[in-house]
Structure formats: structure tokens, C-alpha cells
Structure 1
Amino acid sequence: MDAGNTSSQPAAPQHRLSVERQSERELVVTRTIKAPPRTVFKAWTDAALFQRWWVPQSFGLALLSCELDVRVGGSYRLVFSHPDAPQGMAFHGRYLEVVPPARLVWTNDEAGGSGQVTTVTFEEQPAGHTLLTVHDLYPSKEALDAEIAAGSTGWNDETFDQLDALVGPMG
């Protein structure tokens, strides 16, 4: 997945993704979702819902399994398949903070990964929308630089378009 432009950019149109490198170690993504925070939070914490929006359809990936134990100390494990990786690719970590429906914090512990900590906040906006902010804190400047160079910072409009399509009618 490609983070797109990781430098400062003008304000994004409403509901569009903004990706900004805020420091040597921080990448911040924002997007307005057309549903209330409780609904958007549920889509991030319910495995059946999460599987329906997380993987951009255009990427040729399939989410083979999704285990989410969303509680402090709980863990997650996602396994993807891709024609270039027939064994599957696993991503896992543990939840450090869970504050429904406002905040999630988790580790990214997969082997060979950069070990960033991800914080997602769900802020209520007018018209029943949610300002979603994803903050990735990397252990070093070099770790973030490497993830950007590899195109592995992972956020794009297609993912959040799928989230919007899923939760919009649920709100």
C-alpha cells in the first residue's frame, strides 16, 4: 500500500485523505468518514466488519484471516495472500489502549517490520461524521524513511472509501 505524498500538502477536500509527515518519526493520516464515531469505531473493532473494508480491492490482496481481541493487552493477527506471496503475509500486534468509541492504540510487531505504534482517534464532527486520525510513531527516523521508500506506510483513499461505503448506511 502506498501512503502517497508524505510531505505537507494543502488541506484535502472534505472526505479525502491527508497524509503528512509531522516529524522525523511521525506519520499522520486524516480522513472524514460519513458516519458517527461509535459506528466507525465498531468497523475497526469487529472482525466481520473489519474484513469488509480493510484491504483495497484494487491491490490484488485477500484477507485470509482476521483475529481481533480488542481490549488492553489483547492482540490482533491479520493474514493476507497475494500472487507474489503464496505462503501468505501475517501482521500482528497487541492493543495498548482501547477507549470506545474514541481511541485505539496498538503495536505493529510483525517480523521484519519497523515496530511502529499506531494510534487511531475518532472525533465527532457535524452532520454525524467522524474525523478519523491515524498517527504512526516509528522507533526512528530511519525506520519511517525505510517504510516510505518501500511504499509500506499503507494508507490510501480506496481503503477509506470502502470504510465509508460500509458504515455510511449503518450510522
Structure 2
Amino acid sequence: MNDKDSRTTAERTSDREFVVTRTVNGPAHLVFKAWSDPELFKRWWTPKSFGMTILSCEMDVRTGGGYRLVISHPAMGEPMAFFGKYLDVVPNARIVWTNEEGDDEGAVTTVTFESIGDMTLVTWHDLYPSKEALDEALVSGATSGFDEQFTQLEEVLGAQDTLG
């Protein structure tokens, strides 16, 4: 699942697990900020080539907090809401959240941020409730676009004036 020039790896690691890694240009505290500040998050979260627009983004990034994203796409009749709870948040190190928008139990996502000098190794780990749920996510395209998404994240990180 990797482009030959890509720095992003994305692979199924078990029946229920999907893992993405990328070393991004930027220190962990800024990478974490881009994942936890709604205004920054909206600028990079959806791959531009997918044609989606984030209409609203509410995030209370703390253990016990929650999030709600409303996303539209020209092919969808109505915008779609994505929401869940933050199970564990360690600033500049880890964010764990639920994905509750489906009819069934959704995946639990853990993202870690590991400092490597001025760079950060980001590891995104999705644990799906069943093999069938991950199979469906792979077929639907829900597990694609990470390389573009991380490139957009790096563009936001490169705009240091917007990060404060």
C-alpha cells in the first residue's frame, strides 16, 4: 500500500488491526497541536483529492472529552457526522479515540507522537471490532489517502506563523 517515493506506510497487521506510520517534519508538540486544535485540524484532515469539505469541527481533546466532525461531499445527499470520545490523551505523546458514527461498534484509534529531533514519528493504529469491520473499511476506501493527508499536515506544520 505504499507509493515507491512515499514516507508513509499503511498495512494490515492482523485480522483486526491497521497501522499507518509516517515521520513528519516538525517537533512532536507542534504535530500534537495540529491534531488537537480544531482550526489547524480542519486544514489537513481530509485529503484534498477526495473532494470533501469539513463543515464543522468540534474537539475537546482531553481524556473523557469528545469530538464531532461534519463532512460533506458532492456525491452525498446529506453531510455525514463523524464523532466519538477521547479515551486517553497525553499531550505531545498520544491520543486515543473511538469512532462511533457507524451502526456497529467502531474502531478505536490510537495515534502516538515520538520525537526524533525536529521530526516526529507518527504511528496511527486502528483496532476494529472484527475482521469483517476491517475488511469493509479496506474495501470502502476508508483506509486510503494517508500519504496525501500527512503531506497536508506537513504543509500546515511548515506554516509556522499559524502554529503560534
Pick one of 27, 42, 58 that aligns with 2:33: 42
In 2: Cα distance, 1:119 partner to 1:155 partner: 18
Query: Who is 1:152 aligned against?
Result: 142
Query: Who is 2:44 aligned against?
Result: 53
Query: Who is 2:130 aligned against?
Result: 140
Pick one of 66, 70, 83 that aligns with 1:79: 70
Which shifted more, 41-50 or 140-149? 140-149
Identity between Structure 1 and Structure 2 (%): 55
In 2: Cα distance, 1:113 partner to 1:159 partner: 26
Cα deviations across residues 74-133 of structure 1 (Å, max 9, x unaligned)?
11000011111131011000000000100000000003365000000000113x000000
What displacement does 1:157 show? 1.1
In 2: Cα distance, 1:48 partner to 1:91 partner: 17
What displacement does 1:55 show? 1.2
Report the AA paired with residue 152 of structure 1. Answer: A
What displacement does 1:73 show? 1.1
In 1: Cα distance, 2:72 partner to 2:140 partner: 18
What displacement does 1:168 show? 2.5
C-alpha contact (below 8 Å) 1:67/1:76 kept by paired residues? yes
1:115 paired with 2:106, answer yes
What displacement does 1:169 show? 3.9
Gaps of 5+ in 1: none
| CA-based RMSD | 1.8
Report the AA paired with residue 110 of structure 1. Answer: E
SS state of the match for residue 87, structure 1? Answer: coil
Report the AA paired with residue 53 of structure 1. Answer: W
In 1: Cα distance, 2:39 partner to 2:140 partner: 29
C-alpha contact (below 8 Å) 2:28/2:113 kept by paired residues? yes
C-alpha contact (below 8 Å) 1:114/1:144 kept by paired residues? no
Q: TM-score, normalised by structure 2?
A: 0.91
What displacement does 1:153 show? 1.9
Kindly tell me the number of residue pairs found equivalent between the two proteins.
Answer: 161
Q: TM-score, normalised by structure 1?
A: 0.88
1:26 paired with 2:22, answer no
SS state of the match for residue 35, structure 2? Answer: helix
What displacement does 1:155 show? 4.1
